[in-house]
Structure 1
Amino acid sequence: MAGPLTAAPAATPTARRPWLAWTLLRLGGVIFVLWAVSTVTFFAIRLIPGDPAEAIVGGPGSQASAAALQAARVEYGLDQPLFVQYLRYLGHLATGDLGRSYALHESVFAAIGENIGGTLLLAACSLLAAGLIAIALAAWSVRAGRVASAVGSVLEIVAAAVPHFWLAICLILLFSTGLGWLPPVSVPGPAGLVLPVLTLAIPLSGFLGQVMRESLLDAMASPFVLSARTRGEGATGLFWRHALRHAAIPAIGLAGWAFGSLISGAVVVETIFARAGIGRSLLSAVQQRDVPLVVGVVIVVAACYMFVTTLTDLADRIVDPRLRSVR
């Protein structure tokens, strides 16, 4: 006679330790990265020639008097030694205060909030498009034979090497000037997203495609795929049910890097296509020596990057059970 049913044992403290250590490590990494990027950006922007007080009183062409410039320096603490300004700024950051934009004369949070939505939408659509292109290219090159694999490899290398500004110009000449299908600048609606998304997605798909193709080749030759084939699994099932999941692991790990690459590329793309976003705002702030806005944008982007990398790390642990016991 079977014994009485017993409840499954609860997770032991030892089983929970890897997750606790991982959480503390990620939290410490977030704090360190935010401090590092704010420090490097604060001092780097000071190396640009020019006077930040000019941005406060209207820019280099404002022809402000010496008295007005001095008053602006005193009001914003720019007359203090640089290290004192740095410590003061760190104190504000510790309380969540990013300060006020010199050029826009409004809260940095407000200035970023007005533009970050467009950049995040552009980055998300580009990441999705790059992933779909990479999967399609990798699947075709792996399943269609050696010639297709060689052609796919060349296409991936070319796509990964294409500069954003050159690709944007080519796409505008082809789809806007030549065919007249899409607007040459970003306009409201889906049509205004197509060319900026393709400009960011195509180079990224080259990197992701190379990684996925090599992973797919390894997966198709692995014992678990051979075992599934002996059980009568068809080619389509082998690819979608077994090999693709294995190949997705390294691609998921690259998603955090890909997000950072897309944000950096957004500076060029948003400028070329006259699209509102934090990339374009960052370029304008650097030119105007708007220190609070530059540091604020960099900190927000770094925080988004750390958030995305944390999600990709979690996704890795979900897809690959072997990582769940690793810190």
Structure 2
Amino acid sequence: MFRILLRKFLEVFIFLLFIMFVSFLFIRLAPGDPVLTILNVDELSVSQEQVEAMREEMGFNDSLPVQFGKWLLDFIRLDFGVSYSTGQPVMQTLMRALPATAELTIGALLVMLAVAIPLGSLSALHRGSWIDRGSRLLSIVGAAVPSFWLGLILIDLFGVRFGSLPTMGRDGFASLILPSLTLGLAISSVYVRLLRSSLLDSLSQEFIRSARARGLSEGRIFFLHAFRHSLPPVITVFGVSLGSLIGGVVVIEVLFAYPGIGKLVVDAIRQRDYPLIQGYILIMAVVVFFVNTAVDLSYRYLNPEMKLKEREAHR
């Protein structure tokens, strides 16, 4: 276990260095000037001398390697800088928006589990039946429908026509329902088909036939053996698709004006808020690393064969 964690931390160190360099380079090469945005050149009369003075003060006249070196030294000291738009420390700004994004992500995952597990399980248990055909059709339709279009449909239905649910902002549990439904239904289609396929493979294994021969009930066989055996591929895909989930959160937060990290970073991109964008990228990179590490470690508990292989390798 210690070797796995040590290897993972070495990997994340190299990964973070690469992410920091690429994100820094791409952000600096993107069109637009944060100095002009900060000075509100379109609204105020600003001289070229004022623009150059602020550019010198913010270090934009230095070469890119020098700018990156300064930023890297600040990062080593855990100083992510100050947001150009809010005037507050980047980490403080991001941490203030993080709970909203965490709520939306958890809500979407709960919706996904509530849809994918029953539909995928029933589809596998009743292969070829109308339940199987219906769940596969729904998963195909769900995969074809963009999340933002589904969100607009839900806004029109529950917000405009019925007026039963709020469609903007973050004001209690009710404002979380539509964004969570939109994102959860959008990602559940993939896991319905994946769980069905994995369950069908598990149910055809020799250990399932042996369990039936020992007289175990079908419910126990399904939940304690087949379902557990089918989880590693599903968890693997979840770790790989985490980036898509984060991207979906950004789209949904903007669509529903939900004040989370996603909406915050979209506003930061519009305002050329370099420190806030780079802080967001680093936080998301760390989140992806920890989730993928948890996925790797979970294999040892979900797949007994891996434990046996590790024990044999250490003998």
Query: Structure 1 length as normaliser, TM-score?
Result: 0.88
Quote the residue 2:118 is aligned against: 136
Residue 318 of structure 1 is aligned with which of 279, 301, 305? 301
Deviations 1:218-242 (A, max 9, x none): 1111111112222223332222222
Residue 114 of structure 1 is aligned with which of 87, 96, 113? 96
CA contact 2:37–2:272 (8 Å) conserved in 1: yes
Structure 1 counterpart of 2:94, which letter? I
How many Å apart are 1:214 and its aligned residue? 0.6
Return the alpha-carbon distance in structure 2 between the equivalents of residues 132 and 236 of structure 1.
19
Quote the residue 1:64 is aligned against: 46
CA contact 1:59–1:288 (8 Å) conserved in 2: no
Return the alpha-carbon distance in structure 1 between the equivalents of residues 245 and 57 of structure 2.
37
Structure 2 counterpart of 1:105, which letter? G
Residue 255 of structure 1 is aligned with which of 238, 248, 269? 238
CA contact 2:239–2:291 (8 Å) conserved in 1: yes
How many Å apart are 1:262 and its aligned residue? 2.1
Structure 2 counterpart of 1:217, which letter? L
Matched, 1:226 2:191: no
Return the alpha-carbon distance in structure 2 between the equivalents of residues 224 and 180 of structure 1.
53
Matched, 1:189 2:159: no
Return the alpha-carbon distance in structure 1 between the equivalents of residues 41 and 210 of structure 2.
69
Quote the residue 1:38 is aligned against: 20
1:108-187 to 2 correspondences below 5 Å: 108-147=90-129, 148-187=131-170
CA contact 1:92–1:98 (8 Å) conserved in 2: yes
CA contact 2:170–2:259 (8 Å) conserved in 1: no
**Count of residue pairs brought into register by the alignment:** 309
- Identity percentage of aligned residues: 35
Residue 28 of structure 1 is aligned with which of 7, 10, 21? 10
How many Å apart are 1:155 and its aligned residue? 1.8
Return the alpha-carbon distance in structure 1 between the equivalents of residues 52 and 183 of structure 2.
43
Return the alpha-carbon distance in structure 1 between the equivalents of residues 114 and 83 of structure 2.
39
Residue 32 of structure 2 is aligned with which of 50, 54, 69? 50
Structure 2 counterpart of 1:152, which letter? S
Matched, 1:309 2:269: no
Greater shift after overlay, 153-162 or 117-126? 153-162
Quote the residue 1:207 is aligned against: 190
SS at match of 2:257: coil
SS at match of 2:172: coil
Return the alpha-carbon distance in structure 2 between the equivalents of residues 59 and 252 of structure 1.
50
CA contact 1:253–1:316 (8 Å) conserved in 2: no
Structure 2 counterpart of 1:52, which letter? P
How many Å apart are 1:188 and its aligned residue? 1.6
CA contact 2:83–2:276 (8 Å) conserved in 1: yes
Residue 264 of structure 2 is aligned with which of 272, 278, 281? 281
Return the alpha-carbon distance in structure 1 between the equivalents of residues 213 and 164 of structure 2.
50
Deviations 1:81-124 (A, max 9, x none): 12211122122112211111112111111111110111122112
CA contact 1:134–1:209 (8 Å) conserved in 2: yes
Structure 1 counterpart of 2:191, which letter? L
Query: Structure 2 length as normaliser, TM-score?
Result: 0.91
Return the alpha-carbon distance in structure 2 between the equivalents of residues 51 and 92 of structure 1.
22
Task: Tell me which stretches of 4 or more aligned residues in structure 1 moved more than 6 Å.
Answer: none
Gaps in structure 2 of 5+ consecutive residues: none
Quote the residue 1:270 is aligned against: 253
SS at match of 1:254: helix
Quote the residue 2:61 is aligned against: 79
